[in-house]
Amino acid sequence: MKQRHFSMLRDFHLADWLTLANAFCGVSAVFLAMLYATSQDIRLLLLGCALVPLAFVFDALDGRVARWRQSSSTLGRELDSLADVISFGVAPAALGFAAGLQGGWDWLVLGYFVCCGVSRLARFNVTAEQLSGDGDKVKHFEGTPIPTSLALVVVLVIAADAGRIGGNFWFGAHRLGPWVLHPMVLMYALSGSLMISKTLRIPKW
């Protein structure tokens, strides 16, 4: 059969479009973080933060819709992981950087956080079949799921509302060797480390 233009998009299921909505929210959050960095209009930062929980809603819906319509597929799983990397990995890191976590050590920690998210999702995709056992559903997560990074965004919103971003972050800024570290960035280090833990197992409902 002759392939039509945009045939891949024509073959997408409803769940796949919800996954793409998740990715769109994440990309938009990154763009808003960039706009905030240049304008310092706090409304842009808060709007970017608000898009992350919206991405979470789409992330939750796509799985439910796929099971409801029995349309889950390998393509859908890969789409979901790629969207999650953007919305719950890159976007929270970009929002944190725009908010003022811009020291040299901060860069390294934010990069570590994103790499942990990528690694966690890659491991999940590779081991999903093994973890599902005799059933057709994964019974537990190894390490915390990447959407738990939503908690980081909530902290950023609280800090922004209290005027504790930029040069006013809680716990200040400290020069360690050649670079500056904001202790607040360590919440990203903790979140990333929990994602890649192999001993922490969380039931998947």
Residue 38 has pLDDT above 90, yes or no: yes
Domains of the chain: 7-203 (1.20.120.1760)
Could you tell me what percent of the chain has a pLDDT over 70? 81
103-141 pLDDT, tens digit each: 999 999 999 999 999 999 998 888 765 655 555 556 677
pLDDT range class, residue 165, cuts 50, 70, 90: very high
Could you tell me what percent of the chain has a pLDDT over 90? 65
The pLDDT score that the predictor gives to residue 129 is: 58
Residue 97 has pLDDT above 90, yes or no: yes
**Distance (Å, rounded) from C-alpha 13 to C-alpha 1?**
20
pLDDT range class, residue 183, cuts 50, 70, 90: very high
33: left (phi over 0), alpha (psi -120 to 50) or beta: alpha
| Pair type for strands 201-203 and 179-181 | unpaired
The pLDDT score that the predictor gives to residue 90 is: 98
pTM across the whole model: 0.88
**Distance (Å, rounded) from C-alpha 80 to C-alpha 18?**
9
Least Cα distance to 143 among 185, 205, 108, 192 occurs for 192
44-81 pLDDT, tens digit each: 999 999 999 999 999 988 777 766 556 566 677 788 88
Pairwise pLDDT comparison (200 vs 187), residue with the higher score = 187
The pLDDT score that the predictor gives to residue 108 is: 98
**Distance (Å, rounded) from C-alpha 80 to C-alpha 19?**
6
CB 46 within 8 A of CB 157: yes
Per-residue burial over 35-61, b = 16 or more CB atoms within 10 Å of its CB, e = otherwise: bbbeeeeeebbbbbbebbebbbebbeb
